[in-house]
Amino acid sequence: MKRIILVGLIVILGASLFAAGSKEQSGVDNSLEKVMKKGKFIMGLDDSFPPMGFRNEKGEIVGFDVDLAKEVAKRMGVELVLQPIDWNAKEQELNTGNIDCIWNGFTITPERKEAMNFTPPYVSNAQVVVVKADSPYTTLASLAGKNVGFQAGSSAGDAIDNSPEFKASVKNFVEFKENLTGLMDLEIGGIDALVVDLLVANDNIRRSGKPFRILDESLAPESYGIGFRKNDKALADKVWEQLLSMKADGTLARIAIEWFGADITVV
């Protein structure tokens, strides 16, 4: 009799463990629950990407996206943790659980949408070409046979790939870990032009006062979104809900105006 009872308990225990394991593997979305439970929302960002996220003279991480994320975390009742990452390894950082989202001038592309869950766009942008102010270059065609740089792992590379005529005409493409390094190389003549986000280019020219200009002809329009793990819909929806609330009460516009002098958001 005892043997029968023991066997029965083992069967029940095994069934319980199997059910628990099945629930864990069934794709149940507990992304929001996990963030709320730990009380922290970890934002992965490139801390050298002004004005979206960068370090000020005190070494503090600041920026437009940083201010948005701070307000979102505040409204969610959790602490915002700013986690600088290698932009070229951002997907790995996200999928291994080191960060909860990628939020830092993150361009929405078809390839990225297949790999992760994006919010709707909150800012419109474009990939443009920056040259020295006294250079003879005025069009994309004028850069034929020249050296052009871009940030590795960024949507600038996608824009170049999607412009085959321009890509074929350029003598050499140089990849940089950061846009700021590329701009420094442009200034000293190491490259002839840099493909970069319009918002980043405008901010750098305004903030640094360096002799750069932007070609009138852009490479590609694009939009920024916030990237989450593919199954983390609950967390993505909660963050977007806060941005909608910030749009409704004017907070989103206020933060944009503080950084850009106008409301550039498209929420």
For residue 220, pLDDT over 60 is answered with yes
253 vs 6, which has greater pLDDT? 253
11 vs 122, which has greater pLDDT? 122
Q: Which of 7-16, 84-93, 134-143, 242-251 comes out lowest in average pLDDT?
A: 7-16
Distance, in Å, from the CA atom of 153 to the CA atom of 177, rounded to the nearest integer, reads 8
pTM here is 0.82
> Which residue in 138, 103, 133, 134 sits closest to 117, CA to CA?
103
**Phi then psi dihedrals of residue 233, to 5 deg:** -70, -40
Q: Output the pLDDT for position 84.
A: 98
Q: Residue 134 corresponds to which tokens in the numbers above?
A: 């006294």
- Give the full edge-to-edge strand order of the sheet including 116-118: 79-84, 40-45, 101-102, 227-229, 116-118
Neighbours of 138 (CB within 10 A): 13
Burial label, 174 (beta-carbon count in 10 A; 0-12, 13-18, 19+): middle
> Which residue in 84, 110, 12, 68 sits closest to 256, CA to CA?
68
Give residue 26's pLDDT band: very low, low, confident or very high (50, 70, 90): low
Q: What is the 3-state secondary structure (H, E, C) of 159-175?
A: HHHCCHHHHHHCCEEEE
User: Largest Cα–Cα distance in the chain?
Assistant: 95
Distance, in Å, from the CA atom of 192 to the CA atom of 171, rounded to the nearest integer, reads 11
What is the average pLDDT score of the chain? 91
25 vs 34, which has greater pLDDT? 34
Distance, in Å, from the CA atom of 203 to the CA atom of 226, rounded to the nearest integer, reads 21
23 vs 103, which has greater pLDDT? 103
- Evaluated on CA atoms 224, 226, 231, 233, the torsion sign reads negative
Distance, in Å, from the CA atom of 203 to the CA atom of 216, rounded to the nearest integer, reads 17
Q: Output the pLDDT for position 226.
A: 99
Percent of the chain at pLDDT exceeding 70: 90
Give residue 207's pLDDT band: very low, low, confident or very high (50, 70, 90): confident
For residue 9, pLDDT over 80 is answered with no
How far is CA 158 from each of CA 1, 25, 47, 64, 202, rounded to the nearest angstrom? 70, 34, 21, 24, 21
Domains belonging to the chain, first-starting first, are 31-122+225-260 (3.40.190.10), 126-222 (3.40.190.10)
Average pLDDT over residues 215-231: 96
pLDDT tens, 153-202?
999 999 999 999 999 999 999 999 999 999 999 999 999 999 999 999 99
pLDDT tens, 128-165?
999 999 999 999 999 999 999 999 999 999 999 999 99
Instruction: Specify the amino acid at residue 257.
Output: I
Q: Residue 48 corresponds to which tokens in the numbers above?
A: 């050298």
How far is CA 163 from each of CA 175, 219, 223, rounded to the nearest angstrom? 17, 7, 18
Peptide bond into 51 cis (omega under 30): yes
Q: Output the pLDDT for position 16.
A: 44
Burial label, 256 (beta-carbon count in 10 A; 0-12, 13-18, 19+): buried
For residue 59, pLDDT over 60 is answered with yes
